[in-house]
Structure 1
Amino acid sequence: MRYRFRTVLLGAVTTALTATFLAGPAPAVAAAQEGPRTGFEESDGARWTTQAEEQDLLARADRESARLRVDRIGSTKQGRPLQLVRIGAAQPPSADRVRHGNSVLLICSQHGNEPSGREACLSTVRDLAYATDDATRRFLARTSVLVIPTANPDGRAANTRGNSDGVDINRDHLALKTAEARTMARVIRDYRPDTVYDLHEYGATPPYYDKDLLSLWPRNLNTAHAVHEEAGTLSERYVRPTVEDSGFSTGIYGIWTDPETGEPVKQVAGDGQARILRNTSGVKNSVGLLVETRTTPLTQAEKDDPAVNNRRRVESQLAGLKGAFAFLGERRGRIETATTTARLAGYADRGPVYLGGADNDPATDEEVIQDPPCGYRLDGEAYAEAGDELALHGVRVERDGAGAFVRLRQPLRALVPLLLDGRSADHLTVAKPSSRC
């Protein structure tokens, strides 16, 4: 894969973060003042929370906290539950409230062998459910929090990257072949979260690629400019500075850096593929962010005691969430303006659609549809191939007998050619472009 690398500068670090929810979630390894503790906390990081312990924690929080609700939103191939936690100020937020206010969706452990994000999510759910301080209540009054605590339960049970079929869920956010990706697509369609925060882990390559936490925004060129800017701000002015203030090192995901100068050496990951969640989020007009904590033990203490390594991984995830919540509290108006404007811009049906490239890798002429058709016509066979997936994405379709017509003039304008144009690497089916609407 080719990269024409350039350094991306996203501005200076902000000054001290204001005290809105900046007390943040309690450290994962500290005892919660109220509510159940995770298996990870009970063992002081010696082991990860089991599925049974997760279910007990969520069920108890659902019973005891009026502001939280746990919904079963799907099942894996092996029958494990896929769950959505909804958290509001006085009661769980409805889909309508989420759609019409500031909101964040936390996606935890899409890769089953990357458990630290799941631990951070579980303790955060607990802390938000049981918090009694005014700052948390004010935060939740203005921001709805959605959490998928374990996005890949079968993979977590087996400690594998993929699901029970070996599929990498984070490469399935366009095709939607897996139950897990289909469930996430349905949540994003129904709730339209303004921010999608995706928690992962990575293996280090010292000395070029070994920071405690890496982050990356949507690089896909179909991401609206204002949404792209807010995602960059979330990463570079909130998440990374807060993590560094907590004593951890940070970097940009996918970029090797010279250990002496800090200058970029090469890009090894983090491109603009639309099928990856942080990019899918941008194409769907949400502020997406990927965060990755380092699994590799580098200090002697971490090598001697895996619990030390585990605690560092979870604590750095929690520090990243603290920065994200500060972003949501301080930039609520800007976030909502960016995402709403991006959705409305689709109705104008103007501008190119990009089939390749990234914000640091300009698209070639062949990767740009400079003058997109006004829509795509699907015959009966093509609609049978792609109809369910179009509905899960939230693409608006006009039925025409056994087939359908899909106009570009809609909020998900840029997504339509990615799914239906034969030139797209991720097309669901090949539909016929039409210039007559």
Structure 2
Amino acid sequence: MATLAATLSTAPAGAAGPHVPRTGFETSHGARWTTQPEEQAFLAAVDRATPRVRIDRIGVTRQGRPVQLVRIGAPAPERPQDVRRGNSVLFICSQHGDEPSGREACLTTVRNLAYAKDPATLRFLAHTTVLVVPTANPDGRAADTRGNADGTDINRDHLALETPEARAMATVIRDYRPDTLYDLHEYSATAPYYVKDLLSLWPRNLNTADAVHREATSLSKEFVEPAVQEQGFTTGVYGIWTDPETGEPVKQVAGDGQERILRNTAGVKGSVGLLVETRVDALTDAEKADPALNNKRRVASQLAALNGAFTFLDRHRTRIEAATTAARTAGYADRGPVYLGGADNDPASDDEVLADPPCAYRLDAGQFRRVESTLRLHGVSWRRAADGGAVVPLRQSMRKLVPLLLDRRAGYHLTVATPVRYCDAVIGGNR
């Protein structure tokens, strides 16, 4: 896959000419980030250039900016059902508007995949569907703020889906069912404990199927980290302060098992999730004197990590498909516990485990009206009741998500539904 990695990290031949689009970041040599008008023109040019790319508007922000999805393949899939099951990846770029390096890496990767002519990339795209949301938080990017126009952290809204941005992403996850979900971010260092060039983290939520969890940790430790280190960058685990002398963890500051965080939501839904964070701080006197050097280093580390991700997608194709397929069909057996807390590095307490979950949850008419659209966006199935309410069975693909949405003990539930213990009439419910 060396040829494919080179394609992703290097602009195609002729990129300096008039026919191959370049981002504002590229034309300014890293002095500034790509503006949103430049992004729109860039993506439109790529879309016109090749049948490998299709672009959709999947949502609109409160301030009227489009949230877009780029579909890439050989050729690009026309419909969700054309996605290569078991071989699809979704890149979510810059959920936090003041973390732009992932967006720049995503934009250039879209272009390089679209224009590549080497056999390795063409073979890869013949077997893999690549989905990209280049700017997941357009209002935040325009304002250079972490949150969206309402100040909401979108990466804490993947359960309630109250923001238009999270709702757009949930629609893509529901319709395209990506097997791998890769989320690009940035972070500020805390010396001397938290200073690596690039950090990554898999789904820690305990409802993530074991095989999916194994593939996600492999993506992080066996592919992303080595690819980044090969380019001369340092790596570590996100959310853990580490003693620089002993290498032992000192404090967990983030990255727990919260189901509302995208990498954890991905795991609960059966996708191989990964969060990647590159360091924003200037590392040298030269970077302090010239912000362009700092910007270019941040984007370069993101591109190095993406190279590792694409190598993983190619080499673990069969394992990914087996893991995600098993995770998404396991719910139909309606067996096993559901975890309302804990993480893979923090065992759940007894009161955080539904050891014997109910077979369904009952929503009255008022509750159902309030949560119906959110359940639909998550891909949850239900059976309508005569009184206008609904019964949501656990025997479905989204089995482990249902209690997180409806059980009173779940930390971020949408509503408090009534557990149902006898479900002969509702198992296998439908919408």
Structure 1 and Structure 2 fold alike (TM over 0.5)? yes
**Is the 8 Å Cα contact of residues 99 and 186 (structure 2) preserved in structure 1?**
yes
2:133 aligned partner: 148
TM-score (norm 2): 0.95
**Is the 8 Å Cα contact of residues 263 and 274 (structure 2) preserved in structure 1?**
yes
Q: Name the % identity.
A: 70
- Aligned pair in 2 of structure 1 residues 93, 207: CA closer, same or farther (>3 Å)? farther
Instruction: Choose from 385, 389, 404 the match for 1:403.
Output: 389
Instruction: State the shift of 1:261 in Å.
Output: 2.7
Aligned counterparts of 2:325 and 2:258: Cα–Cα separation in 1:
23
- Aligned pair in 2 of structure 1 residues 58, 164: CA closer, same or farther (>3 Å)? same
Instruction: State the shift of 1:158 in Å.
Output: 0.2
Instruction: Choose from 156, 164, 172 the match for 1:171.
Output: 156
Q: Aligned pairs, how many?
A: 420
Aligned counterparts of 1:388 and 1:340: Cα–Cα separation in 2:
26
Aligned counterparts of 2:4 and 2:11: Cα–Cα separation in 1:
16
Listed as ranges, the gaps of 5+ residues in structure 2 are 424-431
Q: How does 1:415-434 map to 2 (within 5 A)?
A: 415-434=401-420
Q: Say whether 1:282 aligns with 2:293.
A: no
**Is the 8 Å Cα contact of residues 379 and 404 (structure 1) preserved in structure 2?**
yes
Instruction: State the shift of 1:280 in Å.
Output: 0.2
2:15 aligned partner: 32
Q: Say whether 1:296 aligns with 2:287.
A: no
Q: Deviations over 1:374-425 (max 9, x none)?
A: 0001110110111110000000111113111110001110000000011111
Q: Say whether 1:110 aligns with 2:81.
A: no
1:75 aligned partner: 60
Aligned counterparts of 1:381 and 1:413: Cα–Cα separation in 2:
23
User: Which stretch has the larger CA shift, 400-409 or 213-222?
Assistant: 400-409
1:15 aligned partner: none
Aligned counterparts of 1:31 and 1:111: Cα–Cα separation in 2:
32
Q: Say whether 1:137 aligns with 2:122.
A: yes
1:58 aligned partner: 43
Q: How does 1:320-399 map to 2 (within 5 A)?
A: 320-399=305-384
2:429 aligned partner: none
Instruction: Choose from 88, 91, 97 the match for 2:76.
Output: 91
Instruction: State the shift of 1:125 in Å.
Output: 0.4
2:422 aligned partner: 436
- Aligned pair in 2 of structure 1 residues 328, 243: CA closer, same or farther (>3 Å)? same
**Is the 8 Å Cα contact of residues 397 and 405 (structure 1) preserved in structure 2?**
yes
- Aligned pair in 2 of structure 1 residues 24, 225: CA closer, same or farther (>3 Å)? farther
**Is the 8 Å Cα contact of residues 7 and 113 (structure 2) preserved in structure 1?**
no
2:6 aligned partner: 23
Q: Deviations over 1:51-85 (max 9, x none)?
A: 00000010011111111001011100000001000
Q: Say whether 1:193 aligns with 2:182.
A: no
Aligned counterparts of 1:378 and 1:221: Cα–Cα separation in 2:
26
Which amino acid counterpart does residue 26 of structure 1 have in structure 2? Answer: S
Q: Deviations over 1:183-234 (max 9, x none)?
A: 0000000000000000000000112101110000000000000000000000
Structure with more contact order per residue of length (Cα contacts < 8 Å, sep ≥ 6): 1
Report the 3-state secondary structure (helix = DSSP H, G, I; strand = E; otherwise coil) of the residue aligned with 2:391.
Answer: strand
Instruction: State the shift of 1:304 in Å.
Output: 1.1
2:166 aligned partner: 181
2:428 aligned partner: none
- Aligned pair in 2 of structure 1 residues 70, 228: CA closer, same or farther (>3 Å)? same
TM-score (norm 1): 0.94
Report the 3-state secondary structure (helix = DSSP H, G, I; strand = E; otherwise coil) of the residue aligned with 1:23.
Answer: helix
1:11 aligned partner: none
Instruction: State the shift of 1:30 in Å.
Output: 10
Q: Say whether 1:260 aligns with 2:233.
A: no
Report the 3-state secondary structure (helix = DSSP H, G, I; strand = E; otherwise coil) of the residue aligned with 1:21.
Answer: helix
**Is the 8 Å Cα contact of residues 242 and 248 (structure 2) preserved in structure 1?**
yes
Which amino acid counterpart does residue 244 of structure 2 have in structure 1? Answer: P
**Is the 8 Å Cα contact of residues 51 and 75 (structure 2) preserved in structure 1?**
yes
Listed as ranges, the gaps of 5+ residues in structure 1 are 1-17
- CA RMSD between the two structures: 1.4
